Structure 1
Amino acid sequence: MLSLSNVVLILAISHGILLSIIILLKSKKFYPNFLLFLFITSCNIILINLLYTDLKLEMLFPYIPLVLDGAVYLPGPLFFLYVCSILNKERKIKKVDLLHFLLFFIYIAFTIPDYFKPERAVVKSFLSIYSAHPPFASILFNWTIIAQILIYLLVSLKEVGKYHRRIRGYYSSVSNIQTTWIRGVIYLFLIGLSIFLFVKICLCPLA
Protein backbone atom coordinates (compact mmCIF):
# COMPACT_ATOMS: atom_id res chain seq x y z
CA MET A 1 0.00 0.00 0.00
CA LEU A 2 1.47 3.31 -1.07
CA SER A 3 1.57 6.14 1.44
CA LEU A 4 0.76 9.75 0.63
CA SER A 5 4.46 10.59 0.47
CA ASN A 6 4.97 7.75 -2.01
CA VAL A 7 2.22 9.09 -4.25
CA VAL A 8 3.62 12.63 -4.07
CA LEU A 9 7.09 11.36 -4.97
CA ILE A 10 5.74 9.32 -7.89
CA LEU A 11 3.86 12.35 -9.22
CA ALA A 12 6.93 14.56 -8.80
CA ILE A 13 9.14 12.02 -10.57
CA SER A 14 6.67 11.65 -13.43
CA HIS A 15 6.41 15.41 -13.82
CA GLY A 16 10.19 15.78 -13.66
CA ILE A 17 10.81 13.12 -16.29
CA LEU A 18 8.23 14.66 -18.62
CA LEU A 19 9.68 18.13 -18.10
CA SER A 20 13.24 16.96 -18.74
CA ILE A 21 12.20 15.23 -21.97
CA ILE A 22 10.37 18.35 -23.18
CA ILE A 23 13.39 20.53 -22.42
CA LEU A 24 15.74 18.14 -24.18
CA LEU A 25 13.56 17.91 -27.28
CA LYS A 26 12.86 21.63 -27.37
CA SER A 27 16.38 22.57 -28.36
CA LYS A 28 19.06 19.91 -28.27
CA LYS A 29 21.75 22.29 -29.50
CA PHE A 30 20.97 25.06 -27.00
CA TYR A 31 23.64 24.61 -24.34
CA PRO A 32 21.70 26.11 -21.38
CA ASN A 33 18.79 23.78 -22.14
CA PHE A 34 21.11 20.79 -21.98
CA LEU A 35 22.38 21.92 -18.58
CA LEU A 36 18.81 22.44 -17.42
CA PHE A 37 18.00 18.93 -18.63
CA LEU A 38 20.92 17.54 -16.61
CA PHE A 39 19.86 19.56 -13.55
CA ILE A 40 16.28 18.30 -13.65
CA THR A 41 17.46 14.76 -14.37
CA SER A 42 19.73 14.84 -11.31
CA CYS A 43 16.79 16.06 -9.23
CA ASN A 44 14.71 13.20 -10.64
CA ILE A 45 17.37 10.70 -9.60
CA ILE A 46 17.30 12.12 -6.07
CA LEU A 47 13.51 11.80 -5.97
CA ILE A 48 13.72 8.23 -7.26
CA ASN A 49 16.22 7.46 -4.52
CA LEU A 50 13.93 9.02 -1.92
CA LEU A 51 11.06 6.87 -3.16
CA TYR A 52 13.32 3.83 -3.17
CA THR A 53 14.35 4.36 0.45
CA ASP A 54 10.84 5.41 1.49
CA LEU A 55 9.62 2.02 0.30
CA LYS A 56 12.49 0.40 2.24
CA LEU A 57 13.71 -1.28 -0.92
CA GLU A 58 17.32 -0.67 0.07
CA MET A 59 16.92 -3.56 2.49
CA LEU A 60 16.17 -5.85 -0.44
CA PHE A 61 18.54 -4.35 -3.02
CA PRO A 62 21.11 -2.45 -0.95
CA TYR A 63 23.62 -1.70 -3.70
CA ILE A 64 21.31 0.54 -5.73
CA PRO A 65 21.26 3.44 -3.22
CA LEU A 66 25.05 3.43 -3.28
CA VAL A 67 24.80 4.53 -6.90
CA LEU A 68 21.87 6.92 -6.50
CA ASP A 69 23.03 8.68 -3.33
CA GLY A 70 25.85 10.44 -5.14
CA ALA A 71 23.34 12.33 -7.28
CA VAL A 72 22.77 14.77 -4.41
CA TYR A 73 26.09 16.39 -5.27
CA LEU A 74 25.01 17.19 -8.84
CA PRO A 75 22.13 19.74 -8.70
CA GLY A 76 24.17 22.51 -7.05
CA PRO A 77 26.98 22.64 -9.64
CA LEU A 78 24.61 22.02 -12.54
CA PHE A 79 22.31 24.84 -11.45
CA PHE A 80 25.28 27.20 -11.12
CA LEU A 81 26.59 26.28 -14.57
CA TYR A 82 23.08 26.70 -15.97
CA VAL A 83 22.80 30.19 -14.47
CA CYS A 84 26.21 31.11 -15.88
CA SER A 85 25.24 29.83 -19.33
CA ILE A 86 21.99 31.80 -19.28
CA LEU A 87 23.76 35.00 -18.28
CA ASN A 88 26.55 34.46 -20.80
CA LYS A 89 25.31 32.75 -23.96
CA GLU A 90 28.85 32.38 -25.29
CA ARG A 91 30.07 30.45 -22.27
CA LYS A 92 30.86 26.80 -22.90
CA ILE A 93 31.81 24.12 -20.44
CA LYS A 94 35.53 23.80 -19.79
CA LYS A 95 37.66 21.08 -18.27
CA VAL A 96 38.12 23.20 -15.17
CA ASP A 97 34.34 23.10 -14.64
CA LEU A 98 34.71 19.43 -13.73
CA LEU A 99 36.12 20.65 -10.41
CA HIS A 100 32.58 21.66 -9.51
CA PHE A 101 31.78 17.95 -9.35
CA LEU A 102 34.69 17.10 -7.06
CA LEU A 103 32.42 16.06 -4.18
CA PHE A 104 30.55 13.73 -6.51
CA PHE A 105 33.78 12.07 -7.62
CA ILE A 106 34.97 11.82 -4.01
CA TYR A 107 31.70 10.13 -3.08
CA ILE A 108 32.06 7.63 -5.92
CA ALA A 109 35.62 6.82 -4.86
CA PHE A 110 34.58 6.56 -1.20
CA THR A 111 31.75 4.10 -1.92
CA ILE A 112 33.60 1.82 -4.34
CA PRO A 113 34.74 -0.54 -1.52
CA ASP A 114 31.09 -0.96 -0.45
CA TYR A 115 30.28 -2.73 -3.71
CA PHE A 116 32.61 -5.54 -2.68
CA LYS A 117 31.07 -5.98 0.76
CA PRO A 118 28.55 -8.75 1.48
CA GLU A 119 24.94 -7.69 1.03
CA ARG A 120 24.28 -8.25 4.73
CA ALA A 121 27.03 -5.79 5.67
CA VAL A 122 25.61 -3.12 3.37
CA VAL A 123 22.13 -3.58 4.85
CA LYS A 124 23.61 -3.29 8.34
CA SER A 125 25.22 0.02 7.40
CA PHE A 126 21.84 1.33 6.21
CA LEU A 127 20.23 0.29 9.49
CA SER A 128 22.90 2.20 11.41
CA ILE A 129 22.03 5.35 9.44
CA TYR A 130 18.43 5.15 10.66
CA SER A 131 19.48 4.63 14.28
CA ALA A 132 19.40 7.28 17.00
CA HIS A 133 23.16 7.67 16.69
CA PRO A 134 24.09 7.51 13.00
CA PRO A 135 27.76 7.10 12.07
CA PHE A 136 29.92 10.17 11.59
CA ALA A 137 30.24 9.48 7.85
CA SER A 138 26.47 9.71 7.49
CA ILE A 139 26.31 13.00 9.39
CA LEU A 140 29.19 14.39 7.34
CA PHE A 141 27.46 13.28 4.14
CA ASN A 142 24.27 15.15 5.06
CA TRP A 143 26.01 18.36 6.05
CA THR A 144 28.30 18.46 3.03
CA ILE A 145 25.18 18.25 0.85
CA ILE A 146 23.63 21.20 2.67
CA ALA A 147 26.84 23.23 2.59
CA GLN A 148 27.41 22.56 -1.11
CA ILE A 149 23.88 23.52 -2.13
CA LEU A 150 23.98 26.66 0.02
CA ILE A 151 27.32 27.75 -1.44
CA TYR A 152 26.19 27.23 -5.03
CA LEU A 153 22.91 29.05 -4.46
CA LEU A 154 24.72 32.04 -2.97
CA VAL A 155 27.35 32.05 -5.72
CA SER A 156 24.59 31.83 -8.34
CA LEU A 157 22.83 34.75 -6.69
CA LYS A 158 26.08 36.71 -6.78
CA GLU A 159 26.49 35.99 -10.50
CA VAL A 160 22.96 37.22 -11.17
CA GLY A 161 23.70 40.41 -9.24
CA LYS A 162 26.91 41.04 -11.18
CA TYR A 163 25.11 40.47 -14.47
CA HIS A 164 22.26 42.77 -13.51
CA ARG A 165 24.62 45.59 -12.54
CA ARG A 166 26.70 45.13 -15.68
CA ILE A 167 23.88 45.59 -18.18
CA ARG A 168 21.49 47.73 -16.15
CA GLY A 169 22.14 50.79 -18.25
CA TYR A 170 21.75 49.01 -21.58
CA TYR A 171 18.95 46.48 -21.46
CA SER A 172 17.09 47.26 -18.26
CA SER A 173 13.76 45.62 -19.17
CA VAL A 174 15.34 42.49 -20.60
CA SER A 175 17.69 42.28 -17.65
CA ASN A 176 14.83 42.44 -15.17
CA ILE A 177 12.89 39.71 -16.96
CA GLN A 178 15.89 37.44 -17.35
CA THR A 179 17.24 37.77 -13.82
CA THR A 180 14.02 38.03 -11.81
CA TRP A 181 12.90 34.45 -12.39
CA ILE A 182 16.40 33.11 -11.70
CA ARG A 183 16.51 35.05 -8.44
CA GLY A 184 13.05 33.75 -7.63
CA VAL A 185 14.19 30.15 -8.08
CA ILE A 186 17.28 30.77 -5.93
CA TYR A 187 15.24 32.41 -3.17
CA LEU A 188 12.78 29.52 -3.30
CA PHE A 189 15.61 27.04 -2.85
CA LEU A 190 17.07 29.14 -0.03
CA ILE A 191 13.73 29.25 1.78
CA GLY A 192 13.34 25.50 1.39
CA LEU A 193 16.87 24.94 2.64
CA SER A 194 16.27 27.26 5.60
CA ILE A 195 13.16 25.31 6.58
CA PHE A 196 15.09 22.06 6.27
CA LEU A 197 17.92 23.41 8.42
CA PHE A 198 15.44 24.60 11.06
CA VAL A 199 13.90 21.14 11.24
CA LYS A 200 17.32 19.49 11.17
CA ILE A 201 18.93 21.63 13.86
CA CYS A 202 16.04 22.63 16.11
CA LEU A 203 13.67 19.68 15.87
CA CYS A 204 15.91 16.73 14.95
CA PRO A 205 19.45 17.66 16.01
CA LEU A 206 20.68 14.07 15.94
CA ALA A 207 19.14 13.07 12.62
Structure 2
Amino acid sequence: MSLNALAVFARDRDDVATAHTLFEESLLLWRELGDQRAVARALSNLANVVKLQGAYSFAHALYGECISIFRGLGDRTGIAWSLNYQGDVARDQGDSANARALYEQGLVIFRELGDRWGIAGTVADLGSLAREQRDYPAAHSLYRESIKIFQELEHKRGIARLLECFACSAAAQLDRKRSLRLAGAAAALRKTIGAPLTPIEQCGSLDCLVRRMGNAG
Protein backbone atom coordinates (compact mmCIF):
# COMPACT_ATOMS: atom_id res chain seq x y z
CA MET A 1 0.00 0.00 0.00
CA SER A 2 1.37 3.45 -0.93
CA LEU A 3 2.14 6.18 1.60
CA ASN A 4 -0.83 8.17 0.35
CA ALA A 5 -3.19 5.20 0.66
CA LEU A 6 -1.97 4.52 4.20
CA ALA A 7 -2.45 8.19 5.08
CA VAL A 8 -5.99 8.22 3.70
CA PHE A 9 -6.73 5.01 5.62
CA ALA A 10 -5.50 6.64 8.85
CA ARG A 11 -7.37 9.90 8.21
CA ASP A 12 -10.65 8.15 7.49
CA ARG A 13 -10.32 6.33 10.81
CA ASP A 14 -9.75 9.61 12.65
CA ASP A 15 -6.04 8.88 13.26
CA VAL A 16 -5.14 12.39 12.22
CA ALA A 17 -1.64 12.43 13.71
CA THR A 18 -0.58 9.35 11.73
CA ALA A 19 -2.20 10.72 8.59
CA HIS A 20 -0.30 13.99 9.03
CA THR A 21 3.04 12.18 9.28
CA LEU A 22 2.35 9.97 6.27
CA PHE A 23 1.12 12.83 4.09
CA GLU A 24 4.26 14.81 4.98
CA GLU A 25 6.41 11.85 3.93
CA SER A 26 4.46 11.54 0.70
CA LEU A 27 4.91 15.25 -0.01
CA LEU A 28 8.65 15.04 0.59
CA LEU A 29 8.92 12.09 -1.78
CA TRP A 30 7.05 13.85 -4.59
CA ARG A 31 9.12 17.01 -4.12
CA GLU A 32 12.27 14.93 -4.51
CA LEU A 33 10.87 13.32 -7.67
CA GLY A 34 9.89 16.71 -9.08
CA ASP A 35 6.36 15.69 -10.04
CA GLN A 36 4.53 19.00 -9.61
CA ARG A 37 1.03 17.62 -10.08
CA ALA A 38 1.67 14.96 -7.46
CA VAL A 39 3.20 17.61 -5.18
CA ALA A 40 0.00 19.66 -5.46
CA ARG A 41 -2.15 16.65 -4.61
CA ALA A 42 0.07 15.84 -1.63
CA LEU A 43 -0.10 19.46 -0.44
CA SER A 44 -3.89 19.35 -0.66
CA ASN A 45 -4.06 16.11 1.32
CA LEU A 46 -1.74 17.50 3.99
CA ALA A 47 -3.74 20.73 4.15
CA ASN A 48 -6.92 18.76 4.74
CA VAL A 49 -5.40 17.03 7.76
CA VAL A 50 -3.81 20.23 9.05
CA LYS A 51 -7.24 21.87 8.90
CA LEU A 52 -8.68 19.03 10.97
CA GLN A 53 -5.97 19.75 13.54
CA GLY A 54 -7.07 23.39 13.72
CA ALA A 55 -3.96 24.91 12.08
CA TYR A 56 -6.04 27.07 9.77
CA SER A 57 -3.38 29.56 8.66
CA PHE A 58 -1.05 26.72 7.72
CA ALA A 59 -3.83 24.93 5.84
CA HIS A 60 -4.69 28.12 3.94
CA ALA A 61 -1.04 28.56 2.98
CA LEU A 62 -0.74 24.96 1.77
CA TYR A 63 -3.81 25.37 -0.42
CA GLY A 64 -2.30 28.62 -1.67
CA GLU A 65 0.79 26.71 -2.78
CA CYS A 66 -1.50 24.23 -4.54
CA ILE A 67 -3.10 27.10 -6.44
CA SER A 68 0.31 28.42 -7.52
CA ILE A 69 1.34 24.99 -8.80
CA PHE A 70 -1.95 24.39 -10.60
CA ARG A 71 -1.68 27.81 -12.25
CA GLY A 72 1.76 26.90 -13.51
CA LEU A 73 0.36 23.65 -14.89
CA GLY A 74 -2.65 25.38 -16.44
CA ASP A 75 -4.92 23.14 -14.37
CA ARG A 76 -8.05 25.23 -13.79
CA THR A 77 -9.91 22.35 -12.18
CA GLY A 78 -7.17 22.06 -9.58
CA ILE A 79 -7.32 25.81 -8.97
CA ALA A 80 -11.10 25.69 -8.50
CA TRP A 81 -10.96 22.85 -5.98
CA SER A 82 -8.14 24.53 -4.06
CA LEU A 83 -10.20 27.73 -3.84
CA ASN A 84 -13.10 25.63 -2.58
CA TYR A 85 -10.90 24.08 0.09
CA GLN A 86 -9.64 27.51 1.15
CA GLY A 87 -13.32 28.39 1.49
CA ASP A 88 -13.73 25.44 3.85
CA VAL A 89 -10.87 26.77 5.96
CA ALA A 90 -12.41 30.24 6.14
CA ARG A 91 -15.79 28.71 7.00
CA ASP A 92 -14.28 26.66 9.83
CA GLN A 93 -12.74 29.89 11.15
CA GLY A 94 -16.14 31.58 11.12
CA ASP A 95 -15.17 33.96 8.31
CA SER A 96 -18.36 33.62 6.29
CA ALA A 97 -17.68 36.51 3.93
CA ASN A 98 -14.28 35.17 2.88
CA ALA A 99 -15.64 31.64 2.63
CA ARG A 100 -18.40 32.79 0.29
CA ALA A 101 -15.95 34.77 -1.85
CA LEU A 102 -13.64 31.76 -2.21
CA TYR A 103 -16.49 29.36 -2.98
CA GLU A 104 -17.85 31.75 -5.59
CA GLN A 105 -14.42 32.15 -7.23
CA GLY A 106 -14.16 28.38 -7.54
CA LEU A 107 -17.75 28.12 -8.77
CA VAL A 108 -17.09 30.60 -11.59
CA ILE A 109 -14.26 28.39 -12.84
CA PHE A 110 -16.33 25.20 -12.55
CA ARG A 111 -19.16 26.81 -14.53
CA GLU A 112 -16.73 28.01 -17.21
CA LEU A 113 -15.31 24.49 -17.47
CA GLY A 114 -18.73 22.86 -17.48
CA ASP A 115 -17.59 20.71 -14.54
CA ARG A 116 -20.98 19.66 -13.20
CA TRP A 117 -19.59 17.63 -10.32
CA GLY A 118 -17.55 20.64 -9.18
CA ILE A 119 -20.57 22.89 -9.60
CA ALA A 120 -22.78 20.59 -7.52
CA GLY A 121 -20.21 20.27 -4.74
CA THR A 122 -19.53 23.98 -4.49
CA VAL A 123 -23.20 24.94 -4.64
CA ALA A 124 -23.80 22.51 -1.76
CA ASP A 125 -21.03 24.21 0.22
CA LEU A 126 -22.63 27.60 -0.41
CA GLY A 127 -25.90 26.10 0.78
CA SER A 128 -24.32 24.88 4.00
CA LEU A 129 -22.78 28.31 4.53
CA ALA A 130 -26.24 29.85 4.16
CA ARG A 131 -27.67 27.26 6.54
CA GLU A 132 -25.07 28.10 9.17
CA GLN A 133 -26.17 31.73 8.88
CA ARG A 134 -29.79 30.58 9.38
CA ASP A 135 -30.78 31.67 5.88
CA TYR A 136 -32.77 28.50 5.31
CA PRO A 137 -34.62 29.57 2.12
CA ALA A 138 -31.30 30.33 0.41
CA ALA A 139 -29.76 27.11 1.74
CA HIS A 140 -32.64 25.00 0.46
CA SER A 141 -32.55 26.66 -2.96
CA LEU A 142 -28.84 25.90 -3.28
CA TYR A 143 -29.28 22.36 -1.98
CA ARG A 144 -32.02 21.73 -4.55
CA GLU A 145 -29.75 22.97 -7.35
CA SER A 146 -26.95 20.71 -6.13
CA ILE A 147 -28.99 17.55 -5.63
CA LYS A 148 -30.61 17.98 -9.05
CA ILE A 149 -27.17 17.89 -10.68
CA PHE A 150 -26.09 14.87 -8.64
CA GLN A 151 -29.31 13.08 -9.63
CA GLU A 152 -28.69 13.85 -13.30
CA LEU A 153 -25.14 12.53 -12.92
CA GLU A 154 -26.47 9.48 -11.02
CA HIS A 155 -23.88 10.30 -8.36
CA LYS A 156 -25.37 8.46 -5.39
CA ARG A 157 -22.73 9.52 -2.89
CA GLY A 158 -23.46 13.14 -3.78
CA ILE A 159 -27.20 12.54 -3.41
CA ALA A 160 -26.62 11.01 0.03
CA ARG A 161 -24.53 14.02 1.03
CA LEU A 162 -27.33 16.40 0.02
CA LEU A 163 -29.93 14.37 1.90
CA GLU A 164 -27.68 14.79 4.94
CA CYS A 165 -27.48 18.53 4.26
CA PHE A 166 -31.28 18.76 4.18
CA ALA A 167 -31.37 16.69 7.39
CA CYS A 168 -28.97 19.12 9.05
CA SER A 169 -31.19 22.01 8.03
CA ALA A 170 -34.28 20.31 9.43
CA ALA A 171 -32.45 19.56 12.67
CA ALA A 172 -31.30 23.17 12.96
CA GLN A 173 -34.95 24.19 12.68
CA LEU A 174 -35.89 21.58 15.32
CA ASP A 175 -37.96 19.53 12.87
CA ARG A 176 -37.14 16.16 14.42
CA LYS A 177 -39.34 13.99 12.21
CA ARG A 178 -38.10 15.42 8.91
CA SER A 179 -34.47 15.39 10.05
CA LEU A 180 -34.55 11.73 11.05
CA ARG A 181 -36.42 10.73 7.89
CA LEU A 182 -33.85 12.45 5.66
CA ALA A 183 -30.91 11.10 7.66
CA GLY A 184 -32.39 7.61 7.42
CA ALA A 185 -32.79 7.93 3.65
CA ALA A 186 -29.17 9.05 3.34
CA ALA A 187 -27.95 6.15 5.50
CA ALA A 188 -29.95 3.65 3.45
CA LEU A 189 -28.52 5.01 0.22
CA ARG A 190 -24.99 4.90 1.60
CA LYS A 191 -25.54 1.29 2.62
CA THR A 192 -26.63 0.29 -0.90
CA ILE A 193 -23.49 1.79 -2.46
CA GLY A 194 -21.10 0.69 0.30
CA ALA A 195 -20.11 4.23 1.26
CA PRO A 196 -20.63 4.66 5.02
CA LEU A 197 -19.72 7.91 6.70
CA THR A 198 -16.15 7.98 7.98
CA PRO A 199 -15.60 8.64 11.71
CA ILE A 200 -14.64 12.22 10.88
CA GLU A 201 -17.82 12.71 8.88
CA GLN A 202 -19.88 11.08 11.62
CA CYS A 203 -18.70 13.63 14.18
CA GLY A 204 -19.58 16.47 11.81
CA SER A 205 -22.56 18.72 11.61
CA LEU A 206 -25.31 16.10 11.28
CA ASP A 207 -24.67 14.35 14.61
CA CYS A 208 -24.10 17.66 16.37
CA LEU A 209 -27.31 19.17 15.05
CA VAL A 210 -29.37 16.09 15.83
CA ARG A 211 -28.03 16.13 19.41
CA ARG A 212 -28.84 19.83 19.69
CA MET A 213 -32.33 19.17 18.39
CA GLY A 214 -32.77 16.43 20.97
CA ASN A 215 -31.56 18.67 23.77
CA ALA A 216 -33.93 21.41 22.68
CA GLY A 217 -36.83 18.96 22.60
Q: TM-score, normalised by structure 2?
A: 0.30
Larger Cα Rg: Structure 1 or Structure 2? 1
Q: TM-score, normalised by structure 1?
A: 0.31
